[in-house]
Amino acid sequence: MPRLSLYRPNRTRDYQYLDRAISEMYTVGGIDIFVHKYLGPKTYGDLSTDSSTLSPNNDATLPIYNESNPLFIEDLLLLENRDRAYDPDVYVMRGVYKHQDIDFDLTQFGLFLNNDTLFITFHYNDMIDTLGRKLMVGDVIEVPNLRDYHPLNSAIPESLPRYYVIQDGSYASEGFSQTWYPHLWRVKATPMVNAQEYQQILNKPFVKHTDWDPGNFYPTGSIVNQEGSYYIAAKNVPAGIDYTNTEYWRPYTPLTAADLTTTRPKDLEINDAILVQAEAEVPKSGYDTVKFYILPTNPDGSPADPAQYTADYTASQASVTLSVGEDNLTPRADGYTDGYLTGDGIAPNGLPVTPGVSFPPNAVLGQYCLRLDYYPHRLFRFDGRRWNKIEEVVRTNLTPGPENETLRSSFVNNTAEVNTNDRGAIPSRQSLSQALKPRADNGG
């Protein structure tokens, strides 16, 4: 008599019976889970370049693939798949997960909330039949029963979906039957964030629309899609009116899922407000020394009479020829305000300055000149024999942009190109990975 054993080296009828029963339980008691299938890194057309050789950008760590495969890696150096491709079709599978209340996890140091992670189980064979493979890291799922039907923003036209990204997948411990074969697949999913990897999903228009049909009647406010461009009806559109007719149709830019389901728009708004307030409180780098009074000094360093030359010194008085003995009328330097990033091109005590690309003729003793052809601009003072440098304009806006024109920023953000005979135009601004990359030199 053979010995009794529920385990068999192959999947017998006992396994098939139990598998059908478990599948029926998930069909009856589970919920629909919408799956956005991860296809792999984005492809760039039918390229003849072998993925194992240098890619067209001369970087072996960034191969170019001509087919989709979830096993491919986009960046072999950082081991990242930043530009991901997802199947445009959405798959529906039945899954089961346990609801969790907001609770603190006290098993670790500190306080951790564990209510944002879902552990969902799927029937294994149904998953293979529907998806064609196992759920894996990178797949995005949408849980319809967690949709937000009452968002705080009443202007949102539809309920907000809840997206999760699968972080791990394995056989569920509770899915092993008496035959020792697994029947369930368990995944760990966390909320999806507005990252580069999921732009194909997040950039979908989040608005009710229909495909353009010239034979249809469209009431006011209708939104149509014509080859990726959207138009909204300005008034009732009779049949036969083309979407290019500006009397009836207006171009329309719909909101996307990223605009409504993520915090990125609000984060950008907060960041912009912080920048505006920062520029108001600290408009420029360095220190503001304009409010400090600089005492003029005599040639021997003793204090001079400040009443002889003030900020009220008029242009008519500036034409008066001064003698060397009156050299003490204007400050010779910034005095005690001279320090790190204090040069602003403003003369001490707000005295008048003559800007230009050359020194003014017939200069008078103590006159200031701001040379605009120097980079950075430079402030000089005439002592009767020569123009002495006072300071350079080094205070600029702290926010990066066209107004932040320091010598350092112009060097770092140099967008010019150097034309060469053998290598063409070489950009002046390059990353170190490009500047230090060895290139083949086969002698022409």
- Please report, to the nearest 10 degrees, the dihedral formed by the alpha carbons of residues 212, 215, 217, 221 taken in order: 20
Encode pLDDT of 57-107 as tens digits.
567 788 888 888 999 998 888 898 998 999 999 999 999 998 877 766 666
Q: What is the mean pLDDT of residues 17-35?
A: 95
Domain end call among 169, 202, 235: 202
**Confidence band, pLDDT 50/70/90 cuts, at residue 4:** confident
Co-location of 219 and 117 in the same domain: no
As beta bridge partners, residue 34 has 92, 142
Co-location of 91 and 220 in the same domain: no
Co-location of 219 and 166 in the same domain: no
Per-residue pLDDT, 397: 80
In terms of residue numbers, what domain contains 19? 13-42+83-202
User: Rounded mean pLDDT of the chain?
Assistant: 83
User: Looking at the domain assignment, is residue 53 inside a domain?
Assistant: no
Kindly report the CATH number assigned to the domain that includes residue 219: 2.10.10.90
In this predicted model, which residue has the larger pLDDT, 208 or 237?
Answer: 237
pTM of structure: 0.68
For the chain, first and last CA: distance in Å? Answer: 83
**Confidence band, pLDDT 50/70/90 cuts, at residue 439:** low
User: Looking at the domain assignment, is residue 193 inside a domain?
Assistant: yes
pLDDT greater than 70 at residue 159: yes
Co-location of 183 and 229 in the same domain: no
Those residues whose C-beta lies under 8 Å from the C-beta of residue 434, and which sit 6 or more positions away, are none
Co-location of 336 and 381 in the same domain: yes
Kindly report the CATH number assigned to the domain that includes residue 141: 2.40.10
Is 120 in contact with 142 (CB distance < 8 Å)?
A: no
pLDDT greater than 50 at residue 136: yes
Co-location of 289 and 392 in the same domain: yes
User: Looking at the domain assignment, is residue 158 inside a domain?
Assistant: yes
Counting the structural domains of the chain, the total is 3
Return the residue matching tokens 């003490």: 328
User: Looking at the domain assignment, is residue 56 inside a domain?
Assistant: no
Q: At what angle do helices 124-131 and 13-29 cross, to 10 degrees?
A: 80
Would you state the structure tokens that stand for residue 34, as one six-digit string? 């919408």
Co-location of 188 and 216 in the same domain: no
Co-location of 295 and 236 in the same domain: no
Co-location of 374 and 232 in the same domain: no
CA–CA dist 47, 97 (Å, integer): 43
Co-location of 309 and 405 in the same domain: yes
pLDDT greater than 70 at residue 316: no
User: Looking at the domain assignment, is residue 62 inside a domain?
Assistant: no
pLDDT greater than 60 at residue 325: no
Per-residue pLDDT, 339: 76
